[in-house]
A and B are shown apart, each in its own frame.
Chain A
């Protein structure tokens, strides 16, 4: 028995030694904390495909959905920090979650080795097509006077559309009735059908409806207009510059992953974001690709800290909790 243990230990030691020498030597699992096919999953698969080429090993996406993405991230945070388990976190799991989930099993600012920002998707404010307010200025005025008569649709407590509209409402001092749906699809369905009045959501879910004129886009919450919707003015143009949000997605490794491995992963990520084809596919989705300075692990750590600091008071004040 003892002999077996010794040889096992030797084998493990050997494996660890060679892992340091030539990481990666086997496929890497990337946990996506949402169901396959959602915006974060799509970004992970597009970026992961190119990262696999650079690393010489396949990145396998594993979808572990649940509890607003925190189930998958908690599992990733607890994984061995050997570089073979990484995860795609986002604005919710690493920004809003500490306020929404009091029993959160990880600390976004402390329990991870950030790898780098992948891509963000801008947030739009949209209304049903016959809503009285035609632009952001009218919307602000309308909400100040009538917000109690207005219905907002969101994709469930803790979703991107929920958190970003919570911020919008608190900036406007508005108290609309908030109608919860299970996911973006049904929420937009009722917005198109005129059952509810407005919503905030990621651009990728909305562009076709806006182009077809079934819903109206009031404003986009980025510093510049989006090439996918050049006619939609920014929140700055509309007189609400404080409302600037994007649903960012970023790659994280568990805390304790060696800096060499993080550097290798970051290098692969940066190469993916420089690749012509990868960029094209991300831009088609209305995605925003971070500039060179925004792609480093340090920049991501800063972003996480500032996001947690930004969302916590807003969500706490709104009394929002997801458990």
Chain B
């Protein structure tokens, strides 16, 4: 069995004292920095990239990978505790995770996120070790047409995400799509909706939008009713999930892992869809979907597992093709080239110690995350006991530092403040911000791939139906839409009448 001897080689590399220490330090730094609101994995790795220059390549990559997982997990922590998603994949976690925190179940939410992530990480490591090579073909099957169809499917998830009025959800998705179109047009270089203002030329950063509309708006709302923030007064309750919680989460974790892992392999940031898809699935599977959005543990367990599985399988295109599927992986390519390893299809055969060492370190990194985070849960939860008058200035200050550090741009901080006001208005008028964020994330990918596909097909729209993978995805989207919208339309009517 090749895979065992390969994994043995990997573990012999990753288990040296130095590399073990690097994995630990990476996960710890990643977690701590990732917990700063607004500082997601990309910003964290960019900031910490220079400190890896003194290390050997394997050690450097193990450290960076650790930072990546740590920051990814840290983003979920802020999503649960203060309703600020560190990056697109943590948006879904805010929905039920933060509700759980408000009900005094923050520890359980954090715990189940850590346990789900660990399970997903273990499975994903095995998938990568066993199937990396054959799965590469899947990534290459996806051209612009397939990508567009996949994003259409993603938008259907956005509709399902919504609580309450479908009309409002659709409106928010459209606003999200519009926001994603701000900036320099990729095909022509023309500026769109920038009003000639230079800082808008590169579009609106995800962190700016998410932090303003989620985090800052949440702060504004809390200031309005200081008593509404009852986390402080409530007893903290159990810190770790009970047997009952675990039983309830087992199936969502498994489904989330498979879903997230599959989407993570796709190039062009397919991993973004993982948590959304998992949330949709769980809501559909649930006996009582109305619990979702009100602190359902499945709504944290599934998406968090999907998130971590996707984070890991997105290494597959990088390791086997040498092509980074998203911005974080592009940074990894930079880190590898600085260390004199040019990632490509031959890394596996040319640098087997590096390749298998990294795969082994993924598993070790996940174990470290669990070891670091379970004890930290208590600390994070106690953080919520800090009086809010001390807490909110700290959130705002750290957020502003985080936002500034992403692009070293003062304009970003001002935009965040502006979006805070917008987000506050949304709350007041009963609009859910999550579909907006998903529309924003998918909008760019969708528009660009639509245009690419049409340029390649010379404007023939049938290209989406003629290509089998694309046609299949569109059919699934249609089916999902019917299943999702019909009952929801009926229900929202009922709700409207009830009011």
Interface residues of A (CB under 8 A from B): 35-38, 41-42, 45-46, 49, 61-67, 71, 100, 151, 156-158, 177-183, 185-186, 188-190, 192-196, 204, 207-209, 211-212, 214, 281, 284-285, 320-323
Contacts and interface: CB of A to CB of B under 8 A. Distances in A.
B334 A189 contact: no
B338 interface: yes
Contact of A65 (B189, B334, B407): B407
B189 A158 contact: yes
Given A41-B334, A42-B337, A66-B202, A157 B186 contact: yes
B345 A36 contact: no
Given A45-B53, A182-B448, A323-B201, A67 B184 contact: yes
Contacts of B333: 37, 185
B117 to A, nearest CB: 25
B186 A189 contact: no
A214 B345 contact: yes
Interface stretch (B90-98, B305-313, B451-459): B451-459
B107 interface: no
25 contacts: A36-B46, A37-B46, A37-B332, A37-B334, A37-B338, A42-B334, A64-B408, A71-B201, A177-B455, A179-B452, A179-B455, A182-B448, A185-B325, A186-B267, A186-B268, A189-B268, A189-B323, A192-B140, A193-B140, A208-B346, A208-B347, A209-B344, A212-B344, A214-B345, A323-B191
A157 B189 contact: yes
B475 interface: no
B261 interface: no
A204 B456 contact: no
Interface residues of B, number: 52
Given A177-B455, A321-B189, A323-B201, A61 B342 contact: no
Contacts of A37: 46, 49, 330-335, 337-338
Contacts of B164: none
A212 B452 contact: no
Contacts of B191: 323
B189 A66 contact: no
B342 A323 contact: no
A158 B188 CA distance: 10
A7 to B, nearest CB: 30
Contacts of B268: 186, 189
A67 B201 contact: yes
Q: Sort A-B residue pairs by CB-CB distance and give the 6 closest, nearest first.
A: A37-B334, A208-B344, A157-B189, A212-B345, A322-B189, A195-B143
B186 A182 contact: yes
B394 interface: no
Given A182-B448, A185-B324, A193-B143, A63 B408 contact: yes
Given A36-B334, A182-B186, A208-B346, A49 B53 contact: yes
B345 A208 contact: yes
B417 to A, nearest CB: 20
Interface string B316-344: 01000111110001111111011010111
Contacts of B408: 62-64
A230 to B, nearest CB: 16
B144 interface: yes
Nearest to A149: B458
B461 interface: no
B184 A323 contact: yes
A165 to B, nearest CB: 14
Given A46-B338, A180-B452, 11 more contacts: A35-B330, A36-B46, A37-B331, A41-B334, A66-B407, A151-B456, A195-B143, A207-B342, A208-B344, A212-B344, A212-B345
B194 to A, nearest CB: 8
A177 B458 contact: yes
Contact of A177 (B46, B334, B456): B456
Contacts of A61: 50
Given A67-B201, A204-B337, A322 B458 contact: no
Interface in B330-378: 330-335, 337-338, 340, 342-347
Contacts of B488: none
B188 A189 contact: no
B187 interface: yes
Contact of A285 (B140, B202, B321, B337): B337
Nearest to B142: A193
B448 A192 contact: no
B456 A208 contact: no
Nearest to A74: B198
Contacts of B190: 321, 323
A37 B330 CA distance: 7
Contacts of A157: 184, 186-189
Contacts of A190: 143-144
A208 B334 CA distance: 14
A320 B189 CA distance: 8
Contact of A284 (B340, B407, B452): B340
A180 B53 contact: no
B337 to A, nearest CB: 6
Contact of B139 (A66, A189, A207, A211): A189
Contacts of A65: 202, 407
A189 B345 contact: no
B330 A189 contact: no
A209 B322 contact: yes
B141 interface: yes
Contacts of A189: 139-140, 267-268, 317, 321, 323, 325
Nearest to B187: A180
Contacts of A182: 186, 448
A156 B333 CA distance: 19
Contacts of B188: 157
